C-alpha cells in the first residue's frame, strides 16, 4: 500500500497540484493536513473524479485534515474522542484495507514556555492516550501527518541554533515518542 502524507497548506489553492500528483503517482492513500477548508466547501467532486473516496474534518484558517483512498474508508473518527476541549480540526482516523490510519496536524506551540506550548504538550499527551486505546500494535497501524516536531537533530539544518526552541525542544520530542 502506497501511503502519502502532505501538508497541503490550503487544499483549494493547491487543487491543480493535488490532482496532478494523484494522477502521476497514483497513491493508494493520501493523508492531508492544513486543508484550510470547511466541510461544506470541501472539493469533493474533483477528488472523487480522480478516483478517490474521502473522509475529512475541515476548518478555516490553519487547520483541517483529510484522508483520500482508492478503496473504502471505514470507521472514521474525527478529533480526539473524550477531549472536546481540543476543538480544532487536527485529527482524523480511519481504516483502509485493514490498515488503521491516524492523520495528525500537530499544534505548533508558538514558543517554548508560553501557554500555547503547554497546550501543545497536553494535546500531544491526549493523542498518545488515544493511540494507546484505539491503535493496538498487534494491528497494521500508520500514524502520519505534520508533527510540528523534529524527531532529533538530524531533522534540523542548524541544531545549535534550534536547541531548546519550538519544534526542537526535548519535551516535544518526548511527547512525540509517546505517540
Q: What is the DSSP string of 7-29?
A: E-SSHHHHHHHHHHHHHHH--SE
pTM: 0.96
b/e for 107-143, b at 16 or more Cβ within 10 A? bebeebeeeebeebbebbebbebbbeebbeeeeeebb
**pLDDT exceeds 90 at position 60:** no
**pLDDT exceeds 90 at position 26:** yes
**pLDDT exceeds 90 at position 61:** no
Provide the pLDDT for residue 19: 98
**Mean residue pLDDT across the chain:** 97
Phi, psi of 4 (to 5 degrees): -120, 140
The arithmetic mean of pLDDT across residues 77-97, rounded, is 97
Amino acid at each position: 500500500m502506497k501511503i502519502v502524507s502532505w501538508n497541503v497548506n490550503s487544499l483549494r489553492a493547491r487543487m491543480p497540484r493535488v490532482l496532478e500528483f494523484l494522477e502521476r503517482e497514483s497513491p493508494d492513500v493520501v493523508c492531508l493536513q492544513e486543508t484550510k477548508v470547511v466541510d461544506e466547501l470541501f472539493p469533493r467532486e474533483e477528488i472523487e473524479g480522480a478516483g478517490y473516496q474521502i473522509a475529512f474534518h475541515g476548518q478555516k484558517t490553519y487547520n483541517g485534515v483529510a484522508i483520500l483512498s482508492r478503496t473504502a474508508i471505514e470507521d472514521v473518527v474525527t478529533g480526539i474522542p473524550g477531549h472536546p476541549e481540543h476543538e480544532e480540526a487536527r485529527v482524523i482516523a480511519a481504516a483502509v484495507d485493514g490498515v488503521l490510519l491516524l492523520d495528525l496536524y500537530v499544534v505548533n506551540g508558538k514558543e517554548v514556555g508560553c501557554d500555547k506550548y503547554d497546550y501543545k504538550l497536553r494535546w500531544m499527551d491526549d493523542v498518545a492516550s488515544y493511540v494507546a486505546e484505539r491503535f493496538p500494535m498487534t494491528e497494521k497501524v500508520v500514524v502520519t501527518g505534520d508533527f510540528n516536531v523534529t524527531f532529533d537533530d538530524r531533522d534540523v539544518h542548524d541544531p545549535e541554533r534550534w536547541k531548546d526552541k519550538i519544534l526542537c525542544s526535548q519535551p516535544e520530542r518526548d511527547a512525540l515518542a509517546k505517540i
